[in-house]
Amino acid sequence: MQSAKDLKEYRAELRESLDNEFLRKTLDTFAVAYRAGRANAFKGIDVKTLIAEIAQSKDEAAARMDELFEEFKKKAEAVGVTVHLAKDGDEANRIIGEIAQKSGCKKIVKSKSMTAEETLLNHHLEDIGLEVTETDLGEWIIQLRHEGPTHMVMPAIHLSRYQVADLFGDVTGKKQESDIEKLVKVARRELRRKYAEADMGISGANFCVAETGTIGIVTNEGNARLVTTLPRVHVALAGLDKLTPTLHDALRVIKALPKNATGQAITSYVTWITGANECKAAPDGKKEMHVVFLDNGRRALAKDPIFKEVLRCVRCGACANVCPVYRLVGGHKMGHIYIGAIGLILTYFFHGRDKARNLVQNCINCGACEDICAGGIHLPRLIKEIHARIQDEEGHPLKSVLLGKVLANRKLFHRLLKAARWAQAPVKEKNGYLRHLPMVFSKEQDFRALPAIADKAFRDLWPHLKPEVANPKHTVALFSGCVQDFVYPDQLAAAMRSFEGRDVAVDFPMDQSCCGLPAQMMGETKAARDVARQNIRAFEEGGAQYVLCSCASCASQLKHAYPKLLEGDKVWEPRARAFAEKVIDYSSFMHDVLKVEPKQFQDKGRKVTYHAPCHLCRGLGVKEAPRELMRTAGLDYQPCNEEEVCCGFGGTFSMKFPELSAQLLSKKLADAEATGAEELLTDCPGCIMQLRGGVEAAGLSIKVRHIAEAVAEQRKK
Amino acid sequence: MSERIELFKEKAKLVSALVSEVASMGEAFEYAMDLCEKKEACQLLMSGCGEAVSDPAKDLCDAKQRKVVAAPNLSEEDFAKLQALCAAKDFDCIREGMRKHLAGIDIGVTVCQGGIAETGSLMLESSDEEVRLATMVAEYHVAVLPKSAIQATSYDLESELAKRLGNGPSYTALITGASRTADIERVLALGVHGPLELHILLLEG
Ligand code: SF4
Ligand code: SF4
């Protein structure tokens, strides 16, 4: 659970996790195995369509939440179930406690329920003198250890078999071996007794089907079957978001959920319960059954135009499985009760700003979660929104306000950059890096060298570089982004060289500014909106066919964030959409538009490998173009391990969480070096800054370059 | 149809179910007898009797002295046949009173109402409490599934399932493979709360 008071304390907690080698290793192995398992499970299935269908049906259910509740209540009550509605966690806990007391229950067995974790139900039941036993193996283990879950689907993934053996030794009073199969049997045996003794069973519900008043429970262990069968009272606790109109909606989710969670086609058990079933332990031979629905902000959420999509979540845990930050620090640090990407969002709504404030900053915005989400939730965007919302509520920190102000005023921003060029002179080395980091950077930033600002910005070189093209076939306006403009102007020059002789007219609108992503990442939405308008205006004037952007982060900001930022604005939304249409990345332009061919390049066969920038491979969905471009250009491209995993840059993220950034970077460089390539190519100057800085600081030999530089050099002269 | 059956077999095997074909219920019963006989004599070894469990948990074991076969959802006639076979082998054969056997029984025999080829799943009507318990406390679950009841996908089974659920009270299970967990170090272990093995017998017709 998240308890840090401020970012400093939170960072100290993160460092603890980083030092936990077992955790790191487990999560690493898991992340790699998970990706393969999932891909295999979805083989032959049109995942995109399935996810889109789930999203649509969940959206419709959320819009009809109250109505579905009434329908479910009517149907379930007709077959002997009592249906309750709790406005918040406390009320849900109180209702359940009272059910137990009224029916004289003392011992409770529980099968896994995230909703019960959300309300901290066990604490309440224990406080009023009831004995509660979790029966899901992982949940039982963490209950015995008095911990919260570290993963939604695998709550005890952070523990080793030795820790479990010690724990079971305490529980049974006998020494235990660390053999996993034996430990599982010990649990089976110990828990069997608990089922036999219990008079109340509590379960969650993955689905509450309104048309029949049925609850559906998805498990592998089968404990839900015993929990809902043996005790004479059964209480199911479910969030209102579990209401679904028809059985079909539930079956559809089942097609995706287990595959996304663990790579299984389906779980061992899917249990459907309608009404008060036979129960031989009850005096009248019939189960006393209750369904308690929890609101806790869900009804308000369903009406929120931006955040309603979080109700699509089916709790598969996939967004944690692929999150590079979760992989480093685990769920106790990457969430409060709900973990991973969705946890960062839900914590704010279910557990409050205090718990969410630090967490929400710990997202590197790599998009891996959104790419895999079973509900098609735009997770990173919503995480940024929460960050912005918290700042709006609490007041923006000075740093962030200043950044917003500076970025929103292009002339001031560019003046400051030019001034910085002079200021850095004393610490600038010949090799282009800063010798000592300026005072504003802390010691922890040492894991990578930082580049100096270039002597001449691209905008100052432009008048000399501007090509004369007599009969242009394509017209292109370059969007440089701050880094290429002021730090790496060579990359843009190289891109232009690679167009030479192909009838491409190039323009560079001088009024363009920062893309606005840093402002948005810091929660400065207004500033991000201001620069968006400014850039759109600057590019509209020339009327080029393409806005070419050889920075992946900028490109995805221009293409996806601008229309969102200006949504609902009658004048600007259409302009933003038209602008976004024209945005294209360097590799796609070369490969898809210019359709370059091998005969135009030398065939030297230099060995290169590739880092796929998050904002290119997921943000823009460009996967094949850069790889084919490298091959076409005659380079000997050697794919590297985990090519699409984030390099750890994440803009301001690497400043805020240097320890995490450093870890991601060293993993990335190790994977690249392992290919034996001379050069590591990529197509985002942000990634280059990170990777090159890392190579320089670690003294490695591999050379980091923009793909445009390598391609330009390969051209036949 | 035969493609569907092949797919069912393939998918069920992927989740470590053991699939065989039988021509008649008689053959299915013989299969169950055989399985029960070959099963470790020290009952319920696999459910943890041999492990270092706490003293109260151990007490549950003492309740069981003989091998037990439970078959709660057979017709009168079929049950009588199975009972006769059990008597000859000196096994107990029961169709109710599962609550007295929570320590475990050896074999639970059931007839299933539906199958899903796409995932190798069984649909088992479990509104009868004895069926629920027999399939959970048994160490081995032997499920007889008529081939004709196998549908291609869960959607094809949907209307039948919806009808069952809509005429509640009703308790229906989709069962795919044996009970499993990967909660300790993500290592797969079968039979955590329910059966350690699932045997599916595909019945002609
Ligand atoms: S965007 Fe990346 S870092 Fe952020 S939550 Fe999603 S996976 Fe994790
Ligand atoms: S947000 Fe998406 S990926 Fe994450 S748990 Fe929910 S459905 Fe799964």
d(CA A356, CA A2): 8
What's the rounded mean pLDDT across residues A391-412? 86
Nearest Cα to Cα of residue A86 among A293, A369, A378, A282: A293
Q: Provide the token pair at A428.
A: 């600038």
Tell whether A82 is within 8 A of chain B (Cβ).
Answer: no
Residue B45 CB neighbours (<10 A):
14
Highest mean pLDDT among A168-172, A606-610, B59-63: A606-610
pLDDT, tens digit, 9 for 90 and up, residues A321-379: 999 999 999 989 999 999 999 999 999 999 999 999 999 999 999 999 999 999 999 99
Question: Which of B154, B166, B186 comes nearest A251 by C-beta?
Answer: B154
Closest residue CA from atom 8 of ligand 1: A323
Tell whether A697 is within 8 A of chain B (Cβ).
Answer: no
Most A CBs within 10 A among B122, B192, B196, hence the mutation to make, goes to B192
Q: Nearest 5°: phi and psi at B141?
A: -105, 120
| pLDDT at B45 (0 to 100) | 45
Least confident of A273-277, A328-332, B3-7: A328-332
Nearest Cα to Cα of residue A70 among A242, A241, A210: A210
One-letter amino acid of A362: N
- In percent, the amount of chain A with pLDDT more than 90 equals 80
CB of A317 shorter than 6 A to ligand 2: yes
Is the pLDDT assigned to residue A594 strictly greater than 60? yes
Tell whether B187 is within 8 A of chain A (Cβ).
Answer: yes
Residue A284 CB neighbours (<10 A):
9
Tell whether B14 is within 8 A of chain A (Cβ).
Answer: yes
- Of residues A175 and B199, more confidently modeled: B199
What's the rounded mean pLDDT across residues A414-435? 77
pLDDT, tens digit, 9 for 90 and up, residues A670-683: 999 999 999 999 99
Mean pLDDT across chain B: 90
Helix axes A624-632, A707-714, angle to 10 degrees: 30
For the entire predicted model, the pTM comes to: 0.92
What's the rounded mean pLDDT across residues A129-157? 93
pLDDT, tens digit, 9 for 90 and up, residues A76-103: 999 999 999 999 999 999 999 999 999 9
User: Strands (DSSP E) along A242-362, which ranges?
Assistant: 243-244, 269-274, 288-294
Question: Which of A189, A193, A246 comes nearest B47 by C-beta?
Answer: A189
Q: pLDDT band at B64, cuts 50/70/90?
A: low
Is the pLDDT assigned to residue A440 strictly greater than 60? no
Index of the ligand 2 atom closest to the CA of residue A379: 1
d(CA A262, CA A260): 6
* Helices and strands of chain B, counted as H and E runs: 6, 12
- Give the number of C-alpha atoms closer than 13 A to the C-alpha of residue A354, restricted to the C-beta side: 5
What's the rounded mean pLDDT across residues A2-7? 85
| pLDDT at B43 (0 to 100) | 45
CB of A551 shorter than 6 A to ligand 1: no
Q: pLDDT band at A400, cuts 50/70/90?
A: confident
Residue A638 CB neighbours (<10 A):
15
Q: Within chain A, what is the greatest distance between any pair of CA atoms?
A: 94
- Of residues A131 and A453, more confidently modeled: A131
Q: pLDDT band at B57, cuts 50/70/90?
A: low
Tell whether B38 is within 8 A of chain A (Cβ).
Answer: no
pLDDT, tens digit, 9 for 90 and up, residues A21-66: 898 899 999 999 999 999 999 999 999 999 999 999 999 999 999 9
CB of A325 shorter than 6 A to ligand 1: yes
| pLDDT at B51 (0 to 100) | 64
Is the pLDDT assigned to residue B47 strictly greater than 60? no
What's the rounded mean pLDDT across residues A311-318? 96
Is the pLDDT assigned to residue A651 strictly greater than 90? no
| pLDDT at B42 (0 to 100) | 44
Nearest Cα to Cα of residue A299 among A65, A58, A59, A56: A65
| pLDDT at A437 (0 to 100) | 59
| pLDDT at A449 (0 to 100) | 85
Q: pLDDT band at A4, cuts 50/70/90?
A: confident
Tell whether A251 is within 8 A of chain B (Cβ).
Answer: yes
d(CA A232, CA B100): 16
Q: Cβ separation of B54 and A269 shorter than 8 Å?
A: no
Mean pLDDT across chain A: 93
Q: Which residue of A has its CA nearest to B195?
A: A222
CB of A364 shorter than 6 A to ligand 1: yes
| pLDDT at B60 (0 to 100) | 55
Query: Cα of A112 to ligand 2 centre, how many Å?
Result: 17
What's the rounded mean pLDDT across residues B142-160? 97
pLDDT, tens digit, 9 for 90 and up, residues A681-699: 999 999 999 999 999 999 9
Most A CBs within 10 A among B8, B43, B49, B51, hence the mutation to make, goes to B51
Nearest Cα to Cα of residue B8 among B164, B153, B170: B153
Query: Cα of A326 to ligand 2 centre, how many Å?
Result: 14
Task: Give the C-alpha distances (Å, rounded to integers) separating A280 from A32, A288, A511, B131.
Answer: 47, 11, 79, 13
d(CA A83, CA A235): 10
CB of A691 shorter than 6 A to ligand 1: no
pLDDT, tens digit, 9 for 90 and up, residues A477-502: 999 999 999 999 999 999 999 998 89
CB of A379 shorter than 6 A to ligand 1: yes
What's the rounded mean pLDDT across residues A204-226? 97
d(CA B39, CA B42): 9
Residues of A in contact with B175 (CB under 8 A): 268-269
Q: Nearest 5°: phi and psi at B41?
A: -70, -40
DSSP symbol at A454: P
Tell whether A184 is within 8 A of chain B (Cβ).
Answer: yes
Is the pLDDT assigned to residue B44 strictly greater than 60? no
Chain A, residues 211-230, CB within 8 A of chain B, namely: 211-214, 220-223, 225-226, 228-230
Contact A626, A683 (CB under 8 A): yes
Is the pLDDT assigned to residue A12 strictly greater than 80? yes
